[in-house]
Structure 1
Amino acid sequence: MVKLAYPAVVIPVMTQPYEMLQRNLIYTCVTRGKKLVVLVRQARAVPIAMKN
């Protein structure tokens, strides 16, 4: 399996669509950023994603 890595990753994390708020999706996005990871988020979105 080839692991992809990108120099920078920008992740929009919003409360809608609710189905996309999954811990494994956030983890995958964060681990792909090689030098920079930016979470553009609503305040409630990340805690909801961590519970799912």
Structure 2
Amino acid sequence: MKKLYVLIVAAILLLTLVNSSLGKMETQQYSQQAESSGNQYTLYRMMVDPGGGG
């Protein structure tokens, strides 16, 4: 039972570490993600509607 408790605590610590390190890069990553999804949408529109009518 003690081993399980240690595992849970370790997992929580790991999550907080990952979250804090991600928080610094989050804004930059989000802008890149939004840009790439916009490009994918444009590509999708071009493939579905080659005439560009709409």
Instruction: Determine if the TM-score, normalized by the shorter chain, exceeds 0.5.
Output: no
| Larger-gyration structure (1/2) | 2
The structure in which a higher percent of residues are helix is 2
TM-score (norm: length of structure 1):
0.28
TM-score (norm: length of structure 2):
0.28
The structure in which a higher percent of residues are strand is 1
